[in-house]
Amino acid sequence: RKEVEQDPGPFNVPEGATVAFNCTYSNSASQSFFWYRQDCRKEPKLLMSVYSSGNEDGRFTAQLNRASQYISLLIRDSKLSDSATYLCGPMNNNAGNMLTFGGGTRLMVKP
Amino acid sequence: NAGVTQTPKFRILKIGQSMTLQCTQDMNHNYMYWYRQDPGMGLKLIYYSVGAGITDKGEVPNGYNVSRSTTEDFPLRLELAAPSQTSVYFCASSRTGNQPQHFGDGTRLSIL
């Protein structure tokens, strides 16, 4: 099993829709979790940090489920500009607190 | 407000050539990383460093070398370029291993 797994998508949704992605992780010792956004041919940029049970930032909500070892990202009222790849990055304590990234989930918001 | 700076942005190499990808950060971060990203794929960790003088292998270190003589700089060396090393290379840094990473804007490398 991969350390971090994500559905690669693409998720095709209309503008205004609500969409959610999950990210499962295998290392139960992982403590910190992050969601990054990556636009085509650009570098990943931090979207949200998830340090405890979850947090919310405007249209974006991140949740952590430690029992089932996954984090989720919910996007409400999708905009065309939300089209991107979303990477999750749990912390991997087996490698000296290294972050291991998932392969990313691609979101395409259509008019 | 530079953050993480990578040079060059683009490079074409011939098979067997060598080159160094430069990475520097001005945030006084202890941790630095090198990733490669092949088209349509995720990030793969090549090497990382937890501080000056300390480096360690990531998931895909073969064919690469790194050094960390200062906190700011973390160059990545390709000794004998191979077509399989054609990729986009990202350098990143973080204050600690628990903090989010800040990425440079990448180096696009083609080996022909």
Please state the rounded mean pLDDT for residues A64-73.
Answer: 90
Residue of B nearest to A42 (CA): B105
Give B10's DSSP letter. E
Q: Which of A36, A46, A96 sits opposite B50 (nearest CB)?
A: A96
For A104, which residue in chain B has the nearest alpha carbon?
B42
Q: Which pLDDT score, from 0 to 100, does residue B19 have?
A: 96
Neighbours of B62 (CB within 10 A): 9
- pLDDT band at A27; cut points 50, 70, 90: confident
Q: Which 3 state secondary structure label does DSSP give A8?
A: coil
Is the pLDDT confidence value at A98 over 70? no
What's the pLDDT band for B23 if we cut at 50, 70, 90? very high
Could you report the per-residue pLDDT of B34-51, keeping only the tens digit for each?
Answer: 999 998 888 999 999 999
Average pLDDT over residues B21-30: 97
**pLDDT per position as a tens digit, B53-96:** 999 998 899 999 999 999 999 999 999 999 999 999 999 999 98
| Coil, helix or strand at residue A94 | helix
